[in-house]
């Protein structure tokens, strides 16, 4: 990863979310994990939650929610369930 603002933010978010996952704070389903990712994004990102940046926020939070589940359950990407909101 480079030193662009996006790369720096990604590193920070990944580090914080991994720390929370290791502390077992993020136990639960992917939707709850994504809600925590939203909080981390809102705290660390200057993006306004509307239009394109709001859609990006949703997508990034969903991805980080799945990553947290992978970390907690020791899954690799091949075995992870990448469906979000299934059964809704």
Asked, for residue 80, whether it belongs to a domain, the answer is no
Give the torsion sign (CA, 60, 65, 71, 75): negative
Query: 62: pLDDT confidence band, cut at 50, 70 and 90?
Result: confident
For residue 42, tell me if it sits in a domain: yes
Residue 78 in domain: no
Each residue's pLDDT tens digit, 27-43: 455 556 667 777 777 77
Q: Find the domain containing 63 and state its range.
A: 5-73
pTM of the model: 0.56
Does the residue 81 lie in any domain?
no
- Report yes or no on 79 lying in a domain: no
Judged against a pLDDT cut of 80, whether residue 4 lies above it is answered with no
Is 25's pLDDT higher than 60? no
Alpha carbons 28 and 8: distance in angstroms, whole number: 28
Please report the pLDDT score of residue 24 as a whole number.
Answer: 56
Domain count of the fold of the chain: 1
Can you give the pLDDT at residue 21? 61
């Amino acid at each position: 990863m480079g030193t662009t603002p996006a790369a720096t933010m990604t590193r920070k978010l990944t580090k914080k979310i991994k720390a929370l996952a290791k502390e077992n704070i993020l136990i639960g389903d992917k939707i709850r994990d994504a809600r925590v990712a939203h909080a981390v994004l809102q705290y660390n990102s200057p993006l306004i939650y509307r239009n394109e940046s709001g859609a990006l926020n949703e997508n990034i939070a969903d991805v980080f929610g799945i990553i947290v589940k992978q970390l907690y359950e020791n899954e690799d990407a091949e075995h992870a369930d990448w469906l979000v909101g299934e059964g809704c």
